[in-house]
Structure 1
Amino acid sequence: MTQTHCGMDFGTSNSTIAVAAGGRPPVLLPLEDGRPTIPSAVFYSFEDDRTYFGRQAIGEYVGGGDGRLLRSIKSVLGTALFSDTTRVKRQALAFSDILGTFLGELKRRAEAVQGGPLTQIVCGRPVQFVDDDPRADAEAQRQLEGAVRALGYRHVEFQYEPIAAALDYEQQVAGEELALVADIGGGTSDFTIIRLSPERARAADRRPDLLATAGVHVGGTDFDRLLSLRRVMPLLGYGTETADGKRPLPSAPYYDLATWHRINRLYNTRSLAELRSTQKEARFPDLVARLVALVEGRLGHRLAGRVEEAKIALSDAPSTEFRFSTRDVALATPIGIEDLDAALAGPTAAIAATIASALVAAGIQASRIETLILTGGSTRVPAVGDLLRRQLPESRVVETDAFGSVGLGLALEAARRFG
């Protein structure tokens, strides 16, 4: 029987699984409606007690279904949230269990397409799950490995996601190249400097070709949060003061509402009571009333989805009109590319510093990088793409399959390790 080698790219925003078998090139498996990507989302319906995944999960929620939506669940790895619980009807579900439920559905769908069990896997991981905390970073990988092994995979290994993207791109190179891979996804920005060539691709040990890796825990969900805090949360009272002018309103609820994996923290009686108290003290109580209505209606993820849509729209146009309307809340404001650029000043500076540290670790100048390989959906954000091109102006830019290259490279790595 031909051995099937499996690679899984479990992403903050989207996930893929790819397989390689019989010496053939790897392929991405269709995981939802014939598409190889599936959003990393779970929706627990209160109406029919079913659990929905991916686009269907988001569709149920956006369509007004009563239930609980969880997104960006990868972000809990290595944090205190991993062992926390969230209320789903009468149950208190641990985030670790929600993670296992989603990964289990990925495996079930992949095996249904493949027509047999998958028992060995190489999982992608960011260069750093958690910045500047090696213990938390190691714990994040341990947590992910434990969740994967619990699903029945007998052999589980890991590879850095930007290295996987490099291995996928390497299949098309004709000569030797010194490349920097920029993998900027929903939760992390990772960079690898690596030597590539057809001859090197056949080597069993690629460690001599790997010159440096570096990563920072910023990505697309951070971009959403920062854009929301800059342009949308002020419509709900963020940045305003109490009526007596003595202090600003508490910022924590706005931060939670703007952060995908923290939104559910607001959905409890204590948080609502605190928000109503804030409304009474506010200089602009009508703005805070909108915030209260959003939390009462559990509309946080829907609002975050509209912010994400606005960010994506600014990849192709200089401005967009943000609109969010329900029975109780109506928000509207223009957002320009200058707003997004200003919101992302901190993350782009962190990305620039991380690339610089990778070059220093590799002991080379930016001018020696021949190829800049872009992967991950957040490389399409103009402020990010422009920064990368400015930092490596002499490099040839290659835009890979933004959502598939990591999974394909992981399957190649699985074939090398397990073949």
Structure 2
Amino acid sequence: MMVQACGVDFGTSNSTVGWCRPGQPTLLALEDNKSTLPSVVFFNAEEDRTVFGRQAIGEYLEGYEGRLMRSLKSILGTGLMNGQTEVNGQTVRFMDLLTLFIRSLKQRAETQAGRSFQHVVLGRPVFFVDDDPVADQLAQDTLADVARLAGFTEIEFQFEPIAAAFDYESRIEREALVLIVDIGGGTSDFSLLRLAPERSQRLDRLDDILANGGVHIGGTDFDKQLSLNAVMPLLGYRSRLKNHTEVPSSYYFNLATWHTINFAYTRQTQAELRAVYADALERDKLDRLLRLIEQRTGHWLAIQVEAAKIDLSGADQCQLDLSEIQAGLSHTIARQEFDQAIEAQLLSIETTLQRLLNDAQLRADQVDTVFFTGGSSGVPLLRQRVAAMFPAAQAVEGDRYGSIGCGLALDAARRFA
């Protein structure tokens, strides 16, 4: 029997919707026959319309005037959530921006399924906000409010790594102690669970969850560090002024962080930069920065950096085309530079995994399987470091973009059957 509930994985970088149907794929096609919808909104000022996903990125790169917004999930749990921003001359609440995207997810899924969905299990990271339970609960409550505004009436939540575990459990033949390693766009989440085919139909799995952990580090943080270490120096980051101080770093941090790129486009920022330019020792680099800001190509640059990160997962080096900033400008990035750039983030992930083992009162050699999922789980150095921590475990590759959505759909079927 087909259930009347869906699972929604609202991701920092990509989102999916799953629905359990006999003999049918779990994930619904959301755009161009693909099950993922990039978590991107573009407000097209020229044609006065709002578009999402790949279409949003495409129209932005084609040069349409407007406002591109990405990594909206990163706003949850921050002070920005109660604020507003200017979109094509109008003031829009961030709450309404998230609602627009979730509503689009729901409508696309319903069109593909040929039915409406009122019941949903939403995925959530182990921690929206590190070390602040009150802010973390507020972030979940806010996402629930967004889901109601988007049209859902019955809303439940499940930790994203546990949802991935449910997906993996549907394919195993015997009991195993499994570590779920979910490296998404905005968070790294981990769960230690005891999984088995005979346990899979239980609604209450509390006794099987040995420990949960997470840290607010993900693919967008890897992008940011790669940008700051390998790209922003070409625009004057850490260059000097005549008084031997550095050019203020805030401009570069804003441009290297998806949800703050637009802060670099304000008139105040441009005025400040022109004053800084007068005292700069390397004006050619500041010329590039000013040109990027005046042309509002910060999102274009972030897309190039993200593509470089992906290329470096399979190659020792990649070539970054920066001709939009300066004709003929390109830059070679070696994987070693990327590895060095994300060292602090990897140390934090290792610390979180060790804390997870301590919480579960287990040794690393007792873990049978490490199940990798999430779009950023393929970073080679990350895989090496996790393998070194769990040398006796079998490494299993999940669907990087689909395991959580499938698991949430299974959970929705159990909860709302």
> Partners in 2 of 1:180 and 1:327 — Cα distance?
44
User: Structure 2 unaligned runs (5+)?
Assistant: none
CA deviation map 1:136-178 (0-9, x unaligned): 1111111111000112211100000000000000011111100
CA deviation map 1:87-134 (0-9, x unaligned): 212201122111111111011111111112100000000000111111
Aligned partner of 1:126 in structure 2 is 125
CA deviation map 1:25-60 (0-9, x unaligned): 761000000000010000001110111110010011
Q: Does 2:154 align with 1:155?
A: yes
User: 5 Å matches for 1:91-102?
Assistant: 91-102=90-101
Counterpart code for 1:355: L
Does structure 2 retain, via aligned residues, the 8 Å contact 1:5–1:418? Answer: yes
Aligned partner of 2:3 in structure 1 is 3
Deviation at 1:395, TM superposition (A): 0.3
> Partners in 1 of 2:81 and 2:318 — Cα distance?
36
Does structure 1 retain, via aligned residues, the 8 Å contact 2:103–2:151? Answer: no
Q: Which moved more, 1:77-86 or 1:370-379?
A: 77-86
> Partners in 2 of 1:359 and 1:259 — Cα distance?
32
**Residues 186 and 38 of structure 1: CA distance in aligned 2, closer, same or farther (over 3 Å):** same
Counterpart code for 2:274: R
User: Structure 1 unaligned runs (5+)?
Assistant: none
Q: Which moved more, 1:354-363 or 1:1-10?
A: 1-10
Deviation at 1:8, TM superposition (A): 0.3
Q: Which moved more, 1:32-41 or 1:61-70?
A: 61-70
> Partners in 1 of 2:234 and 2:110 — Cα distance?
46
> Partners in 2 of 1:289 and 1:279 — Cα distance?
8
Aligned partner of 1:415 in structure 2 is 413
What do you get for the CA RMSD once the two structures are aligned?
1.3
> Partners in 2 of 1:8 and 1:239 — Cα distance?
42
Aligned partner of 1:218 in structure 2 is 217
Deviation at 1:86, TM superposition (A): 2.1
Aligned partner of 2:12 in structure 1 is 12
Aligned partner of 2:346 in structure 1 is 348
Identical-pair percentage: 47
**Residues 217 and 330 of structure 1: CA distance in aligned 2, closer, same or farther (over 3 Å):** farther
Deviation at 1:79, TM superposition (A): 0.2
Q: Does 2:134 align with 1:138?
A: no
Aligned partner of 1:402 in structure 2 is 400
Deviation at 1:260, TM superposition (A): 0.6
**2:247 counterpart SS class:** coil
Query: Normalized against structure 1, the TM-score is what?
Result: 0.97
Does structure 1 retain, via aligned residues, the 8 Å contact 2:4–2:416? Answer: no
CA deviation map 1:331-365 (0-9, x unaligned): 42211010000001011001100110100000000
Aligned partner of 2:88 in structure 1 is 89
Q: Does 2:105 align with 1:106?
A: yes
**2:322 counterpart SS class:** strand
Aligned partner of 1:336 in structure 2 is 334
**1:334 counterpart SS class:** strand
Aligned partner of 1:36 in structure 2 is 35
> Partners in 1 of 2:322 and 2:62 — Cα distance?
14
**1:380 counterpart SS class:** coil
Aligned with 2:269 (options 268, 271, 277): 271
User: 5 Å matches for 1:377-396?
Assistant: 377-396=375-394
Query: Normalized against structure 2, the TM-score is what?
Result: 0.98
Deviation at 1:266, TM superposition (A): 1.4
Does structure 1 retain, via aligned residues, the 8 Å contact 2:322–2:331? Answer: no
Does structure 1 retain, via aligned residues, the 8 Å contact 2:130–2:215? Answer: yes
Does structure 2 retain, via aligned residues, the 8 Å contact 1:235–1:331? Answer: no
Counterpart code for 1:6: C
